[in-house]
Structure 1
Amino acid sequence: MPELPDVEAFRKVFESCASGRVVRRVEVRDTGVLHGMSARRLREALEGRRFGKPERHGKWLLARTGGGHTLMLHFGMTGSLVCERPDDAAEPHDRVLFTVSRDRQLRFRDQRKLQGLWLADDAGVARLLDGQGPDAMAVGREEFGAALAARRGALKTALTDQSVVAGLGNLLADEILWRAGLRPAARACDLTEADRRRLYTRMRATLRSAIGAGRVPPRDSWLTGHRDDPDPHCPRCGTPLRRSRLAGRTTVWCPRCQPGDS
């Protein structure tokens, strides 16, 4: 599933491909990714308008236009953005195509269609982002610590709750907790001040590295690089990794590097 680093990479694709350019044509190949609008409504709102610089909040991507509308994209589990030439053949999962010049076409590509595209005015943007916590790359340490201190559930569940902090998903949460030496099932409110400070620092460092890679990279030195091994071992200490289900998600951790009672 795309997480904050993936969406930041999509933002860069959008910016390099379409930012500052006038939308010449909108082709909707599958209305199943449109939310609260028809294909005709999307075309009327965007064609002839200029895309502004895209912004990201957590897993959401926002692109404002000169017409007072904002195109909002959420990538679900399999969504992406690619920049192609208009005369290149469309892929089977290319759902919406935005032609912005003779040689540039921005494509929303999504296999499973679990999320998609919205068109909103300022009030609509606020409604769609209502309940989202601060972006994980923008949140301050004190705000982050206070949000965790108020949560009585599992630490990993709090990190992946978009109302606490926006942008973290399953892979990032496991990676960050492993780097911070904290057990995923520990109660968020039981962390010490030192735990919260270390967790915040590791989160920022992990996000910066993953953004540089454009994804959560499966590097040998990362937990992510071993979680799918048939017999996974911790890349730091060599201890066999453990798997469990937490809030319905597969959770991977090292019992030696992440000590605790659970």
Structure 2
Amino acid sequence: MPELPDVEGFRRVLDGCGPGRCVRRVDVRDTGVLRGVGVRRLRREVEGRRLGRPWRHGKLLIVPVGDGPALVWHFGMTGELVCARADDPPAAHDRVVLTLDDDRQVRYRDQRKLQGIRLAPNQRALQRMLERLGPDALDMTRADFLNLLAARRGAVKAVLMDQSLVAGLGNLLSDEILWRARVAPRRPARALDSAEARHVFTAMRGVLATATRAGRVPPRRTWLTGHRDDGEPVCPRCGERLRSHRVAGRRSVWCAHCQH
């Protein structure tokens, strides 16, 4: 599932394709990815207007359109953005295509259609969307993060994945962060001592810095994410067999020897 680094990669794709360009045509090839907006309104609000500079909050990508509305992309499990030429053959899962005035296209590609595209008609509507989310994981200060953990009874992994508390972290990132911090995912967040909580914060910043540069959560062999899908996965740090269990409804992978 696309997480903060993936969405940052999509932001860079759009930043290199769209800003300042006028949208000449909007083609909706599958209305199943539209959320709260119809085809006619989407075309009316977007066609003939220029795309602004895209920005990201957590897993959401926001693109201003003209001087009023904004397109808001939520990529779900399989969504992505592609910058293509107009004469490039379409892919089977290209759902919405924005043709720009230089004949390039921004293509929203999504196989499973679990999320999709929203239209915020104005800044107030956009703020209402964002109010449901916590601060972006890259913007959190250490003090705010430590206060958040200290106030939560639930499992630390559940806290990290709760978008209303920390925006941008998903399953892979949370497992990687906790593995680096040597903290078991089912530990109650407020049971962590101050040193453990600081280690989680430091691990989060380090993982995000590397993954954001890559535009994805990299499956490096020195990372937990590089082993979790092996047939018999072992910890890249100590060599012990990795364990798997559901935490916050998601498959979680950790090392019982390293993480306590």
Cα distance, 1:89 vs structure 2: 1.7
| Aligned match of 2:135 | 134
| Aligned match of 2:146 | 145
| Aligned match of 1:237 | 238
Contact 1:171 1:224 in 2 (8 A): yes
| Aligned match of 2:96 | 96
Looking at structure 2, the residues matched to 102 and 130 of structure 1 have their Cα atoms a distance apart, in angstroms, of 36
Give the share of equivalent positions with the same residue, in percent.
59
- 2:255 is the alignment partner of 1:254: yes
Looking at structure 2, the residues matched to 41 and 47 of structure 1 have their Cα atoms a distance apart, in angstroms, of 10
SS at match of 1:199: helix
- 2:40 is the alignment partner of 1:17: no
Looking at structure 2, the residues matched to 212 and 257 of structure 1 have their Cα atoms a distance apart, in angstroms, of 27
Cα distance, 1:67 vs structure 2: 3.6
Give 4+ residue runs of structure 1 displaced > 3 Å after superposition: none
Contact 2:155 2:189 in 1 (8 A): yes
Per-residue CA shift, 1:133-167, capped at 9, x if unaligned?
Answer: 00001111111111111110100000000011000
Per the normalisation by structure 2, the TM-score is 0.98
Spell out the pairing of 1:64-213 with structure 2 (5 A cutoff).
64-120=64-120, 121-213=122-214
Looking at structure 2, the residues matched to 47 and 9 of structure 1 have their Cα atoms a distance apart, in angstroms, of 25
| Aligned match of 2:6 | 6
SS at match of 1:127: helix
Looking at structure 2, the residues matched to 163 and 136 of structure 1 have their Cα atoms a distance apart, in angstroms, of 11
SS at match of 1:12: helix
In structure 2, give the amino acid aligned to 1:105: Q
SS at match of 2:23: coil
Contact 1:45 1:67 in 2 (8 A): no
| Aligned match of 2:37 | 37
The answer for unaligned runs of 5 or more in structure 1 is none
SS at match of 2:62: strand
The answer for unaligned runs of 5 or more in structure 2 is none
Contact 1:86 1:103 in 2 (8 A): yes
- 2:260 is the alignment partner of 1:227: no
Q: How many residues align?
A: 259
